[in-house]
Amino acid sequence: MQLLIKNIATLVQVEQGPPALRIAGKNMQQLPVLENAFLLMESGRITDFGPMDECPSVSESASMIDAKGKMVFPCWCDSHTHLVYAGSREQEFVYRIKGMTYEEIARQGGGILNSARLLQQTPEEELYNSAMERLAEITRYGTGAVEIKSGYGLSFDSELKMLRVIKEMKKHTDVEIKATFLGAHAIPLQYKANRQAYIAEIIQRMLPAIALEGLADYIDVFCDTGFYTVAETEQILEAGGLFGLKPKIHANELAVSGGVQVGVQRGAISVDHLEQIGQAEIDCLLGSPITMPTLLPGTAFFLNIPYAPARQMIDAGLPVCLASDYNPGSTPSGRMSFVLSLACLKLQMLPEEAIHAATINGACAMELQQTHGSICRGKVANVFITKPMPSVAFLPYAFGSNLIETVILKGKVVETTAKG
Ligand code: NIG
Ligand code: FE
Protein backbone atom coordinates (compact mmCIF):
# COMPACT_ATOMS: atom_id res chain seq x y z
CA MET A 1 0.00 0.00 0.00
CA GLN A 2 1.46 3.35 -1.10
CA LEU A 3 0.86 6.71 0.57
CA LEU A 4 2.03 9.88 -1.14
CA ILE A 5 2.13 13.27 0.57
CA LYS A 6 2.52 16.02 -2.00
CA ASN A 7 2.99 19.80 -2.03
CA ILE A 8 4.67 19.73 1.38
CA ALA A 9 5.69 23.33 2.14
CA THR A 10 8.66 22.10 4.24
CA LEU A 11 9.83 18.54 4.71
CA VAL A 12 11.85 18.61 7.91
CA GLN A 13 14.86 16.55 9.01
CA VAL A 14 15.67 14.91 5.70
CA GLU A 15 18.66 12.62 5.39
CA GLN A 16 19.99 11.88 1.90
CA GLY A 17 22.83 9.60 2.90
CA PRO A 18 23.02 6.71 5.34
CA PRO A 19 21.43 7.51 8.73
CA ALA A 20 23.52 9.68 11.04
CA LEU A 21 24.50 8.22 14.36
CA ARG A 22 23.86 11.33 16.38
CA ILE A 23 23.99 15.08 15.92
CA ALA A 24 26.28 17.01 18.25
CA GLY A 25 27.56 20.51 19.04
CA LYS A 26 27.37 23.10 16.25
CA ASN A 27 25.82 20.58 13.84
CA MET A 28 22.66 20.69 15.93
CA GLN A 29 21.94 24.13 14.44
CA GLN A 30 21.87 22.76 10.90
CA LEU A 31 18.44 21.28 10.27
CA PRO A 32 18.20 19.78 6.78
CA VAL A 33 14.87 20.64 5.11
CA LEU A 34 13.35 20.48 1.64
CA GLU A 35 10.87 23.09 0.41
CA ASN A 36 7.92 22.18 -1.84
CA ALA A 37 8.49 18.48 -1.51
CA PHE A 38 6.83 15.07 -1.80
CA LEU A 39 7.15 12.07 0.51
CA LEU A 40 6.36 8.54 -0.64
CA MET A 41 5.76 5.63 1.72
CA GLU A 42 5.15 1.98 0.96
CA SER A 43 4.75 -1.13 3.12
CA GLY A 44 5.41 0.85 6.27
CA ARG A 45 8.67 2.40 5.08
CA ILE A 46 9.78 5.68 3.54
CA THR A 47 10.65 4.82 -0.05
CA ASP A 48 11.33 8.23 -1.59
CA PHE A 49 11.20 11.98 -1.11
CA GLY A 50 12.34 14.99 -3.09
CA PRO A 51 11.27 18.25 -4.74
CA MET A 52 7.73 18.31 -6.18
CA ASP A 53 9.00 18.62 -9.76
CA GLU A 54 10.48 15.13 -9.33
CA CYS A 55 7.32 13.65 -7.80
CA PRO A 56 6.82 10.15 -9.25
CA SER A 57 3.48 8.98 -10.58
CA VAL A 58 1.93 6.41 -8.30
CA SER A 59 -0.49 3.54 -8.82
CA GLU A 60 -4.22 4.25 -8.85
CA SER A 61 -4.71 2.44 -5.59
CA ALA A 62 -2.24 4.73 -3.76
CA SER A 63 -3.56 7.12 -1.11
CA MET A 64 -2.72 10.76 -1.53
CA ILE A 65 -2.57 13.69 0.90
CA ASP A 66 -2.16 17.28 -0.24
CA ALA A 67 -0.05 19.10 2.38
CA LYS A 68 -0.12 22.57 0.82
CA GLY A 69 1.21 25.14 3.29
CA LYS A 70 1.94 22.40 5.83
CA MET A 71 5.08 20.79 7.14
CA VAL A 72 6.03 17.15 7.58
CA PHE A 73 8.31 16.00 10.39
CA PRO A 74 9.57 12.59 11.46
CA CYS A 75 7.61 11.60 14.57
CA TRP A 76 9.11 12.47 17.94
CA CYS A 77 11.30 9.84 19.57
CA ASP A 78 10.56 10.12 23.29
CA SER A 79 13.36 8.14 24.93
CA HIS A 80 12.36 8.46 28.60
CA THR A 81 8.87 7.85 30.00
CA HIS A 82 7.15 6.05 32.85
CA LEU A 83 3.78 5.85 31.18
CA VAL A 84 2.60 2.66 32.84
CA TYR A 85 1.23 3.77 36.20
CA ALA A 86 -1.83 3.66 38.43
CA GLY A 87 -3.77 6.61 39.80
CA SER A 88 -2.41 10.14 39.90
CA ARG A 89 -0.55 12.38 42.34
CA GLU A 90 -2.19 15.81 42.22
CA GLN A 91 -2.30 15.83 46.03
CA GLU A 92 1.52 16.03 46.04
CA PHE A 93 1.29 18.79 43.44
CA VAL A 94 -0.79 20.75 45.96
CA TYR A 95 1.70 19.96 48.80
CA ARG A 96 4.46 21.39 46.63
CA ILE A 97 2.44 24.53 45.94
CA LYS A 98 2.23 24.91 49.72
CA GLY A 99 6.02 24.69 50.00
CA MET A 100 7.06 21.05 50.45
CA THR A 101 9.86 19.78 48.21
CA TYR A 102 9.82 16.65 46.05
CA GLU A 103 12.43 15.04 48.33
CA GLU A 104 10.49 15.86 51.53
CA ILE A 105 7.37 14.26 50.08
CA ALA A 106 9.42 11.20 49.07
CA ARG A 107 11.01 10.89 52.55
CA GLN A 108 7.53 10.79 54.08
CA GLY A 109 6.52 7.82 51.97
CA GLY A 110 4.88 9.83 49.18
CA GLY A 111 6.31 10.13 45.69
CA ILE A 112 7.40 6.96 43.96
CA LEU A 113 6.33 4.82 46.94
CA ASN A 114 2.84 6.30 46.71
CA SER A 115 2.61 5.25 43.04
CA ALA A 116 4.03 1.83 43.94
CA ARG A 117 1.30 1.21 46.53
CA LEU A 118 -1.36 2.07 43.96
CA LEU A 119 0.24 0.00 41.22
CA GLN A 120 0.62 -3.07 43.39
CA GLN A 121 -3.17 -3.06 43.95
CA THR A 122 -4.05 -2.56 40.28
CA PRO A 123 -4.76 -5.54 38.02
CA GLU A 124 -2.59 -5.98 34.94
CA GLU A 125 -5.47 -5.43 32.55
CA GLU A 126 -6.43 -2.12 34.12
CA LEU A 127 -2.80 -0.97 33.93
CA TYR A 128 -2.64 -2.02 30.30
CA ASN A 129 -5.82 -0.11 29.42
CA SER A 130 -4.72 3.13 31.06
CA ALA A 131 -1.23 2.90 29.57
CA MET A 132 -2.69 2.31 26.10
CA GLU A 133 -4.82 5.44 26.56
CA ARG A 134 -1.69 7.44 27.37
CA LEU A 135 0.04 5.90 24.37
CA ALA A 136 -2.87 7.00 22.17
CA GLU A 137 -2.61 10.47 23.68
CA ILE A 138 1.12 10.85 22.94
CA THR A 139 0.57 9.42 19.47
CA ARG A 140 -1.89 12.26 18.80
CA TYR A 141 0.86 14.63 19.92
CA GLY A 142 3.26 13.19 17.36
CA THR A 143 5.31 10.57 19.20
CA GLY A 144 6.25 7.58 17.03
CA ALA A 145 8.83 5.83 19.24
CA VAL A 146 8.90 5.69 23.00
CA GLU A 147 10.83 4.13 25.86
CA ILE A 148 8.76 3.00 28.85
CA LYS A 149 10.18 2.09 32.25
CA SER A 150 9.00 -0.14 35.05
CA GLY A 151 9.83 1.10 38.55
CA TYR A 152 6.45 1.57 40.21
CA GLY A 153 6.27 -2.11 41.10
CA LEU A 154 9.19 -2.32 43.54
CA SER A 155 8.46 -5.99 44.20
CA PHE A 156 9.09 -9.12 42.17
CA ASP A 157 5.44 -9.57 41.17
CA SER A 158 4.68 -5.95 40.44
CA GLU A 159 7.86 -5.16 38.50
CA LEU A 160 7.17 -8.16 36.29
CA LYS A 161 3.53 -7.11 35.99
CA MET A 162 4.60 -3.69 34.68
CA LEU A 163 7.06 -5.17 32.21
CA ARG A 164 4.46 -7.64 30.94
CA VAL A 165 2.11 -4.72 30.34
CA ILE A 166 4.82 -3.04 28.23
CA LYS A 167 5.43 -6.28 26.34
CA GLU A 168 1.71 -6.50 25.55
CA MET A 169 1.65 -2.86 24.45
CA LYS A 170 4.45 -3.57 21.97
CA LYS A 171 2.18 -6.09 20.26
CA HIS A 172 -0.72 -3.69 19.79
CA THR A 173 0.76 -0.51 18.40
CA ASP A 174 2.80 0.82 15.52
CA VAL A 175 4.61 3.12 17.91
CA GLU A 176 8.07 1.57 18.42
CA ILE A 177 8.46 0.75 22.12
CA LYS A 178 11.58 -0.01 24.16
CA ALA A 179 11.20 -1.41 27.69
CA THR A 180 13.48 -0.54 30.59
CA PHE A 181 13.67 -2.36 33.92
CA LEU A 182 13.82 0.22 36.73
CA GLY A 183 13.44 -1.97 39.82
CA ALA A 184 15.94 0.41 41.46
CA HIS A 185 13.63 3.43 41.31
CA ALA A 186 13.26 3.76 45.10
CA ILE A 187 13.91 1.64 48.18
CA PRO A 188 10.64 0.05 49.38
CA LEU A 189 9.82 1.07 52.98
CA GLN A 190 10.22 -2.44 54.38
CA TYR A 191 13.82 -2.51 53.11
CA LYS A 192 14.81 0.90 54.45
CA ALA A 193 17.04 -0.59 57.14
CA ASN A 194 18.41 -3.26 54.82
CA ARG A 195 18.90 -1.81 51.38
CA GLN A 196 21.15 -4.67 50.30
CA ALA A 197 18.31 -7.13 50.79
CA TYR A 198 16.22 -5.26 48.19
CA ILE A 199 19.19 -4.99 45.84
CA ALA A 200 19.69 -8.75 46.21
CA GLU A 201 16.01 -9.21 45.30
CA ILE A 202 16.59 -7.17 42.13
CA ILE A 203 19.77 -9.01 41.20
CA GLN A 204 18.97 -12.55 42.24
CA ARG A 205 15.25 -12.80 41.54
CA MET A 206 13.96 -10.06 39.29
CA LEU A 207 16.76 -9.91 36.73
CA PRO A 208 16.86 -13.66 35.93
CA ALA A 209 13.07 -13.79 35.57
CA ILE A 210 12.99 -10.69 33.37
CA ALA A 211 15.73 -12.07 31.17
CA LEU A 212 13.98 -15.43 30.92
CA GLU A 213 10.74 -13.84 29.66
CA GLY A 214 12.62 -11.28 27.50
CA LEU A 215 10.82 -8.43 29.21
CA ALA A 216 13.38 -5.63 29.07
CA ASP A 217 15.72 -3.96 26.60
CA TYR A 218 17.56 -1.81 29.15
CA ILE A 219 18.25 -1.40 32.86
CA ASP A 220 17.89 1.84 34.81
CA VAL A 221 18.78 3.01 38.34
CA PHE A 222 17.74 6.28 40.02
CA CYS A 223 21.26 7.30 41.02
CA ASP A 224 20.66 10.35 43.18
CA THR A 225 20.64 11.71 46.68
CA GLY A 226 18.03 9.91 48.80
CA PHE A 227 17.74 7.08 46.27
CA TYR A 228 20.63 4.86 45.04
CA THR A 229 24.33 5.52 45.67
CA VAL A 230 27.02 5.25 43.03
CA ALA A 231 28.27 1.97 44.53
CA GLU A 232 24.75 0.49 44.52
CA THR A 233 24.22 1.73 40.97
CA GLU A 234 27.43 0.02 39.84
CA GLN A 235 26.40 -3.19 41.52
CA ILE A 236 22.99 -3.23 39.82
CA LEU A 237 24.29 -2.20 36.39
CA GLU A 238 26.94 -4.87 36.53
CA ALA A 239 24.33 -7.52 37.28
CA GLY A 240 22.10 -6.17 34.48
CA GLY A 241 25.05 -6.42 32.10
CA LEU A 242 25.37 -10.13 32.86
CA PHE A 243 21.82 -10.52 31.55
CA GLY A 244 22.58 -8.45 28.44
CA LEU A 245 20.79 -5.30 29.60
CA LYS A 246 22.58 -2.06 28.74
CA PRO A 247 22.12 0.87 31.09
CA LYS A 248 20.02 3.99 30.61
CA ILE A 249 20.08 5.77 33.93
CA HIS A 250 18.53 8.58 35.98
CA ALA A 251 21.44 10.77 37.05
CA ASN A 252 22.06 14.14 38.68
CA GLU A 253 18.44 15.27 38.98
CA LEU A 254 18.55 16.30 42.62
CA ALA A 255 22.29 16.55 43.32
CA VAL A 256 25.76 16.13 41.83
CA SER A 257 25.41 12.41 42.37
CA GLY A 258 28.26 10.82 40.41
CA GLY A 259 25.58 9.27 38.23
CA VAL A 260 26.96 10.68 34.99
CA GLN A 261 30.40 9.19 35.63
CA VAL A 262 29.10 5.77 36.55
CA GLY A 263 26.80 5.77 33.52
CA VAL A 264 29.56 6.70 31.09
CA GLN A 265 31.95 4.22 32.66
CA ARG A 266 29.37 1.43 32.29
CA GLY A 267 28.67 2.29 28.65
CA ALA A 268 25.17 3.64 29.26
CA ILE A 269 23.10 4.34 26.14
CA SER A 270 21.95 7.50 27.87
CA VAL A 271 22.23 9.40 31.14
CA ASP A 272 19.05 11.29 31.83
CA HIS A 273 17.96 14.42 33.75
CA LEU A 274 21.34 16.17 34.35
CA GLU A 275 19.83 19.21 36.07
CA GLN A 276 22.80 19.16 38.45
CA ILE A 277 25.91 18.90 36.33
CA GLY A 278 29.08 20.98 35.95
CA GLN A 279 32.22 21.00 33.84
CA ALA A 280 33.44 17.65 35.24
CA GLU A 281 30.31 15.87 33.97
CA ILE A 282 30.47 17.68 30.62
CA ASP A 283 34.11 16.61 30.21
CA CYS A 284 33.20 13.07 31.14
CA LEU A 285 30.38 12.99 28.55
CA LEU A 286 32.69 14.43 25.89
CA GLY A 287 34.84 11.34 26.36
CA SER A 288 32.00 8.98 25.46
CA PRO A 289 31.06 8.18 21.87
CA ILE A 290 27.90 6.35 22.93
CA THR A 291 26.26 7.85 26.02
CA MET A 292 23.54 10.31 24.98
CA PRO A 293 22.98 13.16 27.45
CA THR A 294 19.21 13.36 27.80
CA LEU A 295 17.39 16.37 29.19
CA LEU A 296 13.87 16.41 30.59
CA PRO A 297 12.88 20.05 30.94
CA GLY A 298 9.26 19.13 31.72
CA THR A 299 10.49 17.81 35.07
CA ALA A 300 12.40 20.97 35.98
CA PHE A 301 9.31 22.98 34.97
CA PHE A 302 6.90 20.90 37.03
CA LEU A 303 9.13 20.49 40.11
CA ASN A 304 10.43 24.04 39.97
CA ILE A 305 14.04 22.92 40.07
CA PRO A 306 16.99 24.31 38.07
CA TYR A 307 17.15 23.46 34.38
CA ALA A 308 20.03 21.45 32.89
CA PRO A 309 22.83 23.56 31.32
CA ALA A 310 21.98 22.62 27.73
CA ARG A 311 23.65 25.66 26.19
CA GLN A 312 26.94 24.91 27.90
CA MET A 313 26.70 21.27 26.84
CA ILE A 314 26.01 21.94 23.17
CA ASP A 315 28.60 24.72 23.03
CA ALA A 316 31.13 22.26 24.44
CA GLY A 317 30.40 19.98 21.47
CA LEU A 318 28.01 17.48 23.08
CA PRO A 319 24.88 16.03 21.53
CA VAL A 320 21.72 16.63 23.55
CA CYS A 321 18.51 14.62 23.53
CA LEU A 322 15.10 15.80 24.78
CA ALA A 323 12.48 13.49 26.29
CA SER A 324 9.25 13.96 28.24
CA ASP A 325 9.74 11.83 31.40
CA TYR A 326 5.93 11.35 31.32
CA ASN A 327 5.10 10.07 34.86
CA PRO A 328 2.53 10.79 37.58
CA GLY A 329 4.92 12.48 40.03
CA SER A 330 7.39 14.80 38.39
CA THR A 331 6.00 15.27 34.85
CA PRO A 332 2.37 14.36 34.19
CA SER A 333 2.65 15.19 30.49
CA GLY A 334 3.99 13.41 27.44
CA ARG A 335 3.49 16.29 25.06
CA MET A 336 6.78 16.61 23.20
CA SER A 337 5.89 19.90 21.47
CA PHE A 338 5.73 21.50 24.90
CA VAL A 339 9.07 19.91 25.81
CA LEU A 340 10.50 21.65 22.72
CA SER A 341 8.99 24.98 23.81
CA LEU A 342 10.60 24.58 27.24
CA ALA A 343 13.91 23.64 25.64
CA CYS A 344 13.86 26.86 23.62
CA LEU A 345 12.62 29.10 26.42
CA LYS A 346 14.37 27.61 29.45
CA LEU A 347 17.39 25.75 28.05
CA GLN A 348 18.20 28.39 25.43
CA MET A 349 18.15 25.81 22.68
CA LEU A 350 17.42 26.98 19.15
CA PRO A 351 14.34 25.44 17.50
CA GLU A 352 16.60 23.51 15.10
CA GLU A 353 18.62 22.11 18.01
CA ALA A 354 15.47 21.14 19.87
CA ILE A 355 14.14 19.31 16.79
CA HIS A 356 17.35 17.31 16.40
CA ALA A 357 17.25 16.54 20.12
CA ALA A 358 13.67 15.21 19.95
CA THR A 359 14.03 13.21 16.75
CA ILE A 360 17.37 11.70 15.68
CA ASN A 361 19.08 12.06 19.05
CA GLY A 362 15.99 10.62 20.75
CA ALA A 363 16.16 7.66 18.37
CA CYS A 364 19.83 7.28 19.25
CA ALA A 365 18.98 7.18 22.97
CA MET A 366 16.86 4.09 22.17
CA GLU A 367 19.33 2.61 19.64
CA LEU A 368 16.75 3.26 16.91
CA GLN A 369 18.79 5.65 14.76
CA GLN A 370 18.88 3.19 11.86
CA THR A 371 15.09 3.02 11.64
CA HIS A 372 13.57 6.15 13.23
CA GLY A 373 14.19 9.83 13.87
CA SER A 374 14.54 11.28 10.36
CA ILE A 375 13.08 11.32 6.87
CA CYS A 376 15.41 8.82 5.25
CA ARG A 377 14.79 6.19 2.57
CA GLY A 378 14.31 2.80 4.19
CA LYS A 379 13.37 4.15 7.61
CA VAL A 380 10.01 3.36 9.21
CA ALA A 381 7.31 5.72 7.90
CA ASN A 382 6.40 7.36 11.22
CA VAL A 383 5.79 11.02 10.40
CA PHE A 384 3.38 13.83 11.24
CA ILE A 385 1.85 16.62 9.20
CA THR A 386 1.39 20.01 10.84
CA LYS A 387 -1.27 22.63 10.35
CA PRO A 388 -0.12 25.40 7.99
CA MET A 389 2.87 27.09 9.69
CA PRO A 390 5.00 30.04 8.56
CA SER A 391 8.31 28.56 9.79
CA VAL A 392 9.84 25.69 11.72
CA ALA A 393 10.31 27.96 14.76
CA PHE A 394 6.52 28.48 14.89
CA LEU A 395 6.11 24.99 16.39
CA PRO A 396 7.93 25.63 19.72
CA TYR A 397 6.85 29.30 19.65
CA ALA A 398 3.09 28.60 19.68
CA PHE A 399 3.44 26.63 22.92
CA GLY A 400 -0.23 26.29 23.75
CA SER A 401 -1.48 25.17 20.35
CA ASN A 402 -1.62 21.68 19.01
CA LEU A 403 -0.16 22.18 15.56
CA ILE A 404 0.04 18.48 14.76
CA GLU A 405 -2.83 17.68 12.43
CA THR A 406 -2.18 14.20 11.06
CA VAL A 407 -0.07 11.37 12.46
CA ILE A 408 1.11 8.55 10.22
CA LEU A 409 2.57 5.36 11.68
CA LYS A 410 4.11 2.71 9.44
CA GLY A 411 2.74 4.53 6.42
CA LYS A 412 -0.89 4.55 7.68
CA VAL A 413 -2.88 7.54 8.94
CA VAL A 414 -3.75 6.82 12.57
CA GLU A 415 -4.90 10.23 13.69
CA THR A 416 -6.10 13.31 11.89
CA THR A 417 -7.98 16.48 12.64
CA ALA A 418 -7.65 17.65 9.03
CA LYS A 419 -10.93 18.50 7.33
CA GLY A 420 -12.07 16.79 4.13
O1 NIG B 1 12.24 10.72 36.26
N2 NIG B 1 13.47 10.76 39.03
C3 NIG B 1 12.94 9.67 39.17
N4 NIG B 1 11.84 9.21 38.60
C5 NIG B 1 10.87 10.01 37.97
C6 NIG B 1 9.88 10.54 38.94
C7 NIG B 1 9.07 9.49 39.47
C8 NIG B 1 7.95 9.91 40.36
O9 NIG B 1 8.02 10.93 41.07
O10 NIG B 1 6.98 9.17 40.34
C11 NIG B 1 11.56 11.08 37.19
O12 NIG B 1 11.42 12.28 37.47
FE1 FE C 1 12.27 9.46 34.82
The number of the ligand nearest the C-alpha atom of 112 reads: 1
**58 neighbors 74 (Cβ within 8 angstroms):** no
Is the alpha carbon torsion for 410, 248, 132, 299 positive or negative?
Answer: negative
Q: For 110, phi and psi rounded to 5 degrees? A: -85, -155
The pLDDT confidence band at residue 159, using thresholds 50, 70 and 90, is very high
For residue 203, the model assigns a pLDDT of: 98
**pLDDT surpassing 90 at residue 26:** yes
Q: What is the mean pLDDT of residues 80-84?
A: 98
The alpha carbon of 255 and the centre of ligand 2 are apart by a number of angstroms equal to: 15
Mutate to test the pocket of ligand 1, among 79, 81, 82, 301 (most ligand atoms within 8 A of CB): 82
The alpha carbon of 61 and the centre of ligand 1 are apart by a number of angstroms equal to: 48
The pLDDT confidence band at residue 420, using thresholds 50, 70 and 90, is low
- The Cα angle at residue 206 between residues 161 and 170, in degrees rounded to 5: 40
For residue 274, the model assigns a pLDDT of: 97
Residues 203-206: contacts with CB under 8 Å, at least 24 apart: 203/235, 203/236, 203/239, 205/156, 206/156, 206/159, 206/160, 206/181
* Domains annotated on the chain, with CATH: 2-74+373-416 (2.30.40.10), 76-364 (3.20.20.140)
Mutate to test the pocket of ligand 1, among 222, 228, 275 (most ligand atoms within 8 A of CB): 222
**228 neighbors 222 (Cβ within 8 angstroms):** yes
Pairing verdict, β 76-81 and 71-74: unpaired
* Ligand 1 atom closest to the CA of 328, numbered from 1: 10
Mutate to test the pocket of ligand 1, among 92, 185, 227, 274 (most ligand atoms within 8 A of CB): 185
The alpha carbon of 181 and the centre of ligand 1 are apart by a number of angstroms equal to: 14
The alpha carbon of 151 and the centre of ligand 1 are apart by a number of angstroms equal to: 9
Taking only the tens place, the pLDDT of each residue in 409-419 is 999 999 899 88
Q: Which residue puts its alpha carbon closest to atom 9 of ligand 1?
A: 329
- Taking CA atoms, 234 is separated from 154, 222, 384, 385, 408, in Å, by 19, 12, 40, 43, 41
**pLDDT surpassing 80 at residue 248:** yes
**pLDDT surpassing 90 at residue 129:** yes
Q: What is the mean pLDDT of residues 215-233?
A: 97
Pairing verdict, β 218-223 and 176-184: parallel
Taking only the tens place, the pLDDT of each residue in 323-337 is 999 999 999 999 999
**How many Å apart are CA 79 and CA 344, to the nearest integer?**
19
* Ligand 1 atom closest to the CA of 89, numbered from 1: 10
| % pLDDT > 90, the chain | 95
For residue 418, the model assigns a pLDDT of: 87
The alpha carbon of 96 and the centre of ligand 1 are apart by a number of angstroms equal to: 15
**How many Cβ atoms are within 10 Å of 212's Cβ, its own excluded?**
9
Q: For 408, phi and psi rounded to 5 degrees? A: -120, 125
Q: What is the mean pLDDT of residues 103-117?
A: 91
For ligand 1, which residues put their CB under 6 angstroms from it?
111-112, 115, 222, 250, 253, 299, 325, 327-330
Cβ-proximal residues to 129 (8 Å cutoff; 6+ apart), any chain: none
**211 neighbors 239 (Cβ within 8 angstroms):** no
The alpha carbon of 80 and the centre of ligand 2 are apart by a number of angstroms equal to: 6
Q: Read off the pTM.
A: 0.98
**How many Å apart are CA 240 and CA 207, to the nearest integer?**
7
Largest CA distance in the chain: 70
Q: Which residue puts its alpha carbon closest to atom 12 of ligand 1?
A: 330
**pLDDT surpassing 80 at residue 266:** yes
**pLDDT surpassing 80 at residue 51:** yes
For residue 54, the model assigns a pLDDT of: 97
For residue 19, the model assigns a pLDDT of: 82
Neighbours of ion ligand 2 (CB under 5 A): 325
Q: Which residue puts its alpha carbon closest to atom 5 of ligand 1?
A: 330
**pLDDT surpassing 90 at residue 212:** yes
The number of the ligand nearest the C-alpha atom of 222 reads: 1
Write down the H helix ranges in 85-206. Answer: 90-97, 102-107, 112-120, 124-140, 156-171, 195-200
**Average pLDDT in the chain:** 97
Q: Which residue puts its alpha carbon closest to atom 8 of ligand 1?
A: 329
Q: For 183, phi and psi rounded to 5 degrees? A: -60, -30
**273 neighbors 308 (Cβ within 8 angstroms):** yes
